[in-house]
Structure 1
């Protein structure tokens, strides 16, 4: 298979898990500019993950334990808890509900497992091949965002999400955070520190 084929497979397989989160974010995007914020935040997070993976793959003496990466799991948990305990008056404030930093942190937390996929693969590539792969993954990120935006803008789906968003979004964020904490052994490591 060619580098392009591998890059396409890599991009699709690592972006599918973002789809539901992006779908939920797009279904909530009501204010001008929020959709652009989601696109930009997702692209920036993907770029950061690709850059980190590239650096880690090039610098063999840098080692990050999995449990450290898993600490990013606390980000969606805290966001979910915050949303759960916001009262309705707080959610109706005129400021943008979907902020760039929130999108970036959610995307980084949900994509931290991609470091474990990208890094070993990037070690097998030349600099040019890594750049080509990164570019294709970023293009695929835009495509995933576009699909999630189109599904999120369907009126019936958007109404359902709006009706139950107070429960759906925090639940997904909390579950995602817990999954990340366990997937990377962070909970096990932290519990071992306490005993």
Structure 2
């Protein structure tokens, strides 16, 4: 295994997924105190990232499951989840932090996977030419490194969400930040991709 390729893969993953740490921390904050949170976030992140990798690998070999014109519309997924989370936050706006924590529950695996995949549309665009030029062996190295780093990213998100100062802030504001971040991601994906003629 070429150390240079491993380093390049790690760098590419970090650059294209830095925003995911914030989203992961928000998911961990949403599910604070619930036993299934870590499992759901980890499985959801892997499921969503596997979709990103599958699409990028297929496109590197010349097959595409989604036409390029459809990619911007993936922004509708986090937008819908953000609106849903915003409605929930509004309904429970007068709840105490303890009540909010008790009612919140662990984030769903599919919700995490949907946000991960939708937020990865730009990743696919970056990964395809890299994979296409890396050859089969190089592509395999990238995929293995990326899959290992997903676990590191989830651990980092959990780490940040459990730091006392961050945990207090997320406990107080996470119910507001999560919908804002998800809606922002959705709108950004739609606008940058030119969906609906934007």
Shorter-chain TM-score bucket reads 0.7 to 0.9
1:139 to partner: Cα distance: 1.2
> Take 1:91 and 1:98, find their aligned partners in 2: how far apart are those partners?
14
- 1:56 pairs with 56, 59, 67, which one? 59
State the SS of the aligned residue for 2:134.
coil
1:168 equivalenced with 2:177 (yes/no):
yes
Match of 1:179 among 159, 163, 188: 188
Distance 2:12 2:165 in 1: 32
Which residue in the other structure is 1:14 paired with?
16
1:128 aligns with 2:137: yes
Query: 2:48 — aligned with what?
Result: 45
Gaps in structure 1 of 5+ consecutive residues: none
1:123 alignment partner, SS class: helix
Of 119, 123, 127, which aligns to 1:114? 123
Aligned to 2:107: 98
For the 8 Å contact 2:30–2:104, the answer to whether it is kept is: no
If the length of structure 2 is used for normalisation, what is the TM-score?
A: 0.85
Query: 1:53-92 CA deviation, whole Å, 9 max, x = no partner?
Result: 00011026x4854431111101111111111112238967
Aligned-pair distance for 1:155?
Answer: 2.8
Given that 2:29 and 2:174 are in contact with CA atoms closer than 8 Å, whether structure 1 keeps it comes out as: no
Measure the CA separation in 1 of the matches of 2:70 and 2:4.
34
Structure 1 residue 28: deviation in Å?
Answer: 2.2
Counterpart of 1:98 in 2: which secondary structure?
Answer: coil
Aligned to 2:35: 32
- Cα distance, 1:94 vs. partner? 6.3
The verdict on how the C-alpha distance between 1:171 and 1:14 changes in structure 2, with shifts beyond 3 A counting, is same
Q: Aligned-pair RMSD on alpha carbons?
A: 2.3
**Do the aligned partners of 1:15 and 1:141 also contact (CA within 8 Å) in 2?**
no
TM-score for the superposition, normalised by structure 1: 0.87
